[in-house]
């Protein structure tokens, strides 16, 4: 294991993050705070509790997940796309750094940023909405697993993209709608049976459900199923990254 190579990539990505704190930290925190003000305080005070949890507290896990997924994909995709765009990716490919070490550096840095942002939003949410965390260790586990998984997904997007515009297509047109439709603002048990069945094909449902269970002990699907789906998606992303580096697809041409 080339520890020096992993550390160099990791530190470089974190340094780039610190240079853009306004965009990377302040903007997501402010936008999420607006959700808490509008949905948690203004609208939430007029809605009944869901599964014994006030509406303002109920949406906290979903809003954290919304920011976590978006930022994980954005950080990882932009981090690996910049070397492709500037041409320095060839120096990385010719360096004594394996694909595993490259992934550890880029994805590790992106996941670190996302976890830090998720924890910051969690603290910020406490200023607007009172809530409790029933299973803090499980909450941290889901937070880290989701950050790593979607950082890997963003890493794949960055490897496959051939323009800056395409970096935003999947987060804006796929991930954000799936998050909104995945139970961020409601329980899928509130849907008609047919729509509930369709919603279960949305992978984000399992992420939000497992994460919400760690807060309140209630979920739309079993926590074991949520964990299994997250690990399955993680394994699938690792397999795709391995294939890209093995074949050189979109890397050497």
What is the per-residue pLDDT for 210? 93
Instruction: List Cα–Cα distances, 147 to 3, 64, 67, in angstroms.
Output: 22, 11, 10
Q: Which two tokens stand for residue 97?
A: 């750094």
For residues 138 and 214, give the distance between their C-alpha atoms in angstroms, rounded to a whole number: 6
Answer yes or no: are the C-beta atoms of 78 and 170 closer than 8 Å: no
CB atoms within 10 A of CB 235: 12
Whether the CA torsion 251, 20, 230, 5 is positive or negative: it is positive
Span 5-56, pLDDT tens digits: 888 889 988 887 777 766 777 778 888 888 877 776 666 667 777 888 888 8
Backbone angles phi, psi at 97, to 5 degrees: -130, 125
Residue 104: exposure state from Cβ atoms within 10 A (0-12, 13-18, ≥19):
buried
Task: With CA atoms as reference, report the closest residue to 117 among 177, 62, 59, 70.
Answer: 70
For the stretch 51-71, pLDDT in tens is 888 888 898 999 899 889 988
* Domain ranges across the chain: 3-247
pLDDT of residue 42: 65
pLDDT at 41 (0 to 100): 66
pLDDT single digits (tens) 224-241: 999 999 999 999 999 999
What's the mean pLDDT when you consider all of the chain?
Answer: 87
Quick one: pLDDT at residue 252?
Answer: 67
Q: What is the pLDDT of residue 30?
A: 84
Residue range 128-149: average pLDDT?
92
């Amino acid at each position: 294991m080339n520890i020096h190579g992993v550390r160099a990539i990791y530190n470089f990505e974190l340094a780039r993050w610190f240079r853009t704190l306004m965009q990377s930290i302040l903007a997501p925190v402010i936008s999420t705070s607006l959700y808490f003000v509008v949905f948690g305080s203004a609208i939430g005070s007029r809605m009944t509790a869901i599964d014994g949890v006030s509406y303002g507290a109920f949406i906290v896990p979903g809003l954290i997940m919304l920011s976590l997924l978006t930022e994980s994909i954005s950080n990882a995709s932009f981090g690996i796309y910049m070397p492709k765009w500037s041409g320095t990716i060839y120096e990385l490919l010719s360096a004594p750094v394996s694909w595993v070490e490259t992934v550890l550096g880029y994805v590790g840095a992106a996941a670190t940023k996302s976890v830090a942002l998720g924890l910051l939003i969690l603290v910020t949410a406490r200023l607007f909405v009172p809530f409790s965390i029933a299973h803090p260790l499980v909450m941290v586990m889901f937070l880290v697993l989701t950050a790593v998984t979607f950082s890997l997904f963003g890493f794949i997007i960055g490897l496959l993209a051939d323009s800056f515009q395409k970096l935003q297509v999947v987060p804006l047109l796929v991930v954000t709608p799936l998050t909104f439709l995945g139970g961020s603002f409601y329980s899928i048990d509130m849907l008609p049976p047919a729509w509930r069945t369709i919603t279960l094909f949305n992978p984000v449902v399992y992420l939000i459900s497992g994460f919400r269970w760690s807060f309140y002990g209630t979920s739309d699907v079993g926590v074991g199923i949520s964990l299994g789906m997250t690990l399955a998606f993680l394994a699938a992303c690792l397999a795709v990254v391995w294939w890209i580096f093995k074949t050189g697809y979109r890397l050497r041409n």
